Amino acid sequence: MSFTIKVGLASCGLAAGAGDVYHSIEKYLKENKIKAELKKTACIGMCFAEPLVEFINEHNESITYGYVETEQIGDLIESYRNDKLSTENCILSNKIDGSENENLKNQKRIVLRNCGIIDPESIDDFLENGGYQALQKVLKEYKQEDVISVIKASGLRGRGGAGFPTGMKWDFAYKAQSDKKYIICNADEGDPGAFMDRSVLEGDPHNVIEGMIIGAYAIGADEGYIYCRAEYPLAIKHLKKAIQDATEKGFIGKNILETDFSFDLHIKEGAGAFVCGEETALMASIEGERGMPRIRPPFPAQSGLWGKPTNINNVETFANISWIINNGAEEYRKYGTEKSPGTKVFALAGKIKNSGLIEVPMGTPLRKVIYDVGGGMKTEKPFKGVQLGGPSGGCIPKELLDTVVDYDSINKTGAIMGSGGMVVMDESTCMVDVAHFFLDFTQKESCGKCTFCRIGTKRMLEILTRITEGKGKMEDLDTLEELAKNIIKGSLCGLGQTAPNPVLTTLRYFKEEYKAHILDHTCPAGVCTSLQKYEIDPEKCTGCTLCTKKCPVNAISGNVREPHVIDQEKCIKCGVCFDVCRFDAVKKS
C-alpha cells in the first residue's frame, strides 16, 4: 500500500508540538520499514486542532487528524494501513465524515488555496499546482496595460486596510515617468489577534512572490522589497528559500523567461514598530530612517522609495493576483459583492471555538462567519461583540451580527475591515477594558510625530484608566468623544486617524457599561480589578485559615474554625482568596 503522510509545520503547529509528531512518524516509518512518503506542509487554517496529520492514498483519498499526540502515531499508521480508518480526531476527509468538513465547505479558498496542501519550501510542489503559470502567461501574452486592465476589471481592492482599488493604484505607478520604479509587499502585520499574512507567507510564499513579479511587470518596476517583521522567523525562512529557488528557476533576475523584463527581490526585516504598517513610514524604514509617516502628496506612486515611483500592496492582495490572471476577472467577480468582489481572509481569535484562519466570499454575514465557519462560542456565555480591524478597528455588537463582510457595510458600523483580524468576545468581556487595551497599544506604538496622536491618545488613555478604576465622571464621556474627533482630524497617518475607533464604537454600542463604571462603580463583566470586591460568606466559611495564609497583604482575619472577614481597606483585589477557597465561601462582586 502506497500512501503519503503530511504534517502541518507552520508556527501554530510547531507551537502545539507538531515537530515532535513529525519526528515520531519519521522514526516509526523507518523502524518498521514502512514505505510511505512523509512530507511537510503548513497551516490549512484549523489552528485550533493542531497538530494536524494528513494521510493520502494513491486515489487521492485523504483523512486529516487533529489534536494528534506522539503516543497515537503507531495506532494511526497501522489502522490506516489495515484500512480500519479511525474516526476519532478526524477533522477533514473526502472519504469519511470529518468534524470540520462543513467548516471548509462554507469557505472559498483563493488566497489560501495552497496553504496546508503544498510543501512551502518546495518550488516543485508549487509548480505542480499551477505555480508561475500566470507569470508566464503575462510575459508572453500581455502588455503592461493589459495586466492593469484585468486587475481593474476584477475589482480587487487592497486587502491591507481601506480597500483602495488595486488596479487603479497600479495604473498610477505605471503612468509615473521615471528611470527607476519599486514595488513593495507590506508584510508588517502588527494587529493583536491577526496572523493572516504570517500564515500565507509560511504556507505559500511563491504565490505572493508571483503576484509581486506580475505587479512589477505591470508598473515597470525592476526591483522590489518584502517588508516583513522579524518576529516572523519561519515566514522569513520560507521567503528566503522561495526567492533563492525562484531565482534559480529563472522567475527572478535578468531577462525573466527569456524576455526583456528583469526583476530583483529583497527582504527587509522590520523591528516590530506598528506604525511601519503605514506605507510612508515603511518606506522610511527601508531607507534606513526612523519609521515615521510623511506628508502626502506626493503619494508613493509619484515619489516613494528613495524618491522614485513606488507601489505598495499587502500580502493578501498580491496572493490574489495569479488566480485572477489564470481564471479571469469575470470568474473573480462571481464571488463577493459588486463593490467588494472576491474573498477575504480572516484570523479568528478570542472566545471562538474554531480559532484559526478562514477565507470567505465578501458579503458573507458576520453571523455565518462566527457560527457556521468559526463554530460558535467557545464558552457557554453568549456572544457579546467582535473587534474587527485590530486596534485601528472597532467593536461590533450582537445587534449587528447580520452585517455583511464588505468594506462599505463594515465602515458603516464604525469599525473597519483592516487586514482581517477578528477577535470574538463573550459576556465575560468588559468593553471599557477592551477599549483601554487597544488604545494603550496604539498610544505606545505612536511614533510621536503628530501632537494630537502623541498627546491626545495619552489623555484618552488616562481618562479610560480612571473609568476602569471607578474614578470617572460622566463628563469624561464627552471629553473622550471630543478628543477622538480632534485626533482623527489632526493626525498625519492611519494610526492616529483610526486609534480612537475602539473607544468610539464601544461608547456607541456599549455606553451602559461606561455608565456602570462611573455611576455604580461596578464592572458588569467583573474584569476591572479596582472595581471588584471580595467578601466572605459567614454561612459557608469553615475557618480553615487557608485564605489568611495566602493573602499577600494580611487583609483577612479570624479565628480557627470561625468565619473570617476581609478588611476592604487593606484588600488589593488580587483574588488569591477567591482562587484558594475550597468551600465557595469567598464571593466576588
Q: Please, are residues 367 and 375 in contact by the beta-carbon 8 Å criterion? A: no
Region 431-520: CATH code: 1.20.1440.230
What tens digit of pLDDT does each residue of 469-521 get? 999 999 999 999 999 999 999 999 989 999 999 999 999 999 999 999 999 99
Cβ within 8 Å of residue 200, ≥6 positions away: 111, 112, 115, 207, 208, 315, 316, 319, 345
Band (pLDDT 50/70/90 cuts) for residue 1 is low
What mean pLDDT is predicted for residues 142-159?
Answer: 97
Distance, in Å, from the CA atom of 357 to the CA atom of 354, rounded to the nearest integer, reads 9
Percentage of the chain exceeding pLDDT 70: 100
Please determine, looking at this structure, whether the domain spanning 343-426 carries the CATH number 3.10.20.600: yes
Give φ, ψ of 426 to 5 degrees: -110, -170
- Give the pairing type, strands 53-57 and 3-8: antiparallel
State CA 335 to chain mean position distance: 22
Q: From start to end of 332-436, where are the E strands? A: 343-350, 356-361, 383-388, 394-397, 421-426
Distance, in Å, from the CA atom of 396 to the CA atom of 418, rounded to the nearest integer, reads 14
- Kind and range of the H or E element at 55? strand 53-57
The architecture of the domain spanning 123-332 is 3-Layer(aba) Sandwich (3.40)
Answer positive or negative: Cα dihedral of 448, 453, 455, 457: negative
pLDDT at 21 over 80: yes
The one-letter amino acid code at 357 reads L
For the domain made up of 532-588, give the CATH fold: Alpha-Beta Plaits (3.30.70)
Band (pLDDT 50/70/90 cuts) for residue 588 is confident
- Give the pairing type, strands 343-350 and 421-426: parallel
Q: Please, are residues 323 and 390 in contact by the beta-carbon 8 Å criterion? A: no
Considering all CA atoms of the chain, what is the largest pairwise distance in Å, rounded to the nearest integer? 90
What tens digit of pLDDT does each residue of 543-556 get? 999 999 999 999 99
Cell of 175: 503612468
Region 3-103: CATH code: 3.40.30.10
What tens digit of pLDDT does each residue of 178-199 get? 999 999 999 999 888 889 999 9
What mean pLDDT is predicted for residues 81-107?
Answer: 87
Residue with cell 473587534: 387
What mean pLDDT is predicted for residues 377-391?
Answer: 92
**Structural domain spans, the chain:** 3-103, 123-332, 343-426, 431-520, 532-588
Distance, in Å, from the CA atom of 475 to the CA atom of 463, rounded to the nearest integer, reads 10
Cell of 378: 467557545
Q: Please, are residues 154 and 336 in contact by the beta-carbon 8 Å criterion? A: no
Arithmetic mean of pLDDT over the chain? 94
Of 204 and 526, the structure prediction assigns the larger pLDDT to 204
Can you spell out the DSSP letters for 315-357? HHHHHHHHHHHHH-HHHHTTSB-SSSBSEEEEEEEESBSS-EE
What mean pLDDT is predicted for residues 381-402?
Answer: 93
Supply the DSSP symbol for 253. B
Of 575 and 504, the structure prediction assigns the larger pLDDT to 504
Q: Please, are residues 333 and 155 in contact by the beta-carbon 8 Å criterion? A: yes
Band (pLDDT 50/70/90 cuts) for residue 530 is confident
What mean pLDDT is predicted for residues 528-539?
Answer: 90
> Any bridge partners for residue 185, and if so which?
226, 313
pLDDT at 161 over 80: no
pLDDT at 167 over 90: yes
pLDDT at 85 over 90: no
- The pLDDT score that the predictor gives to residue 193 is 83
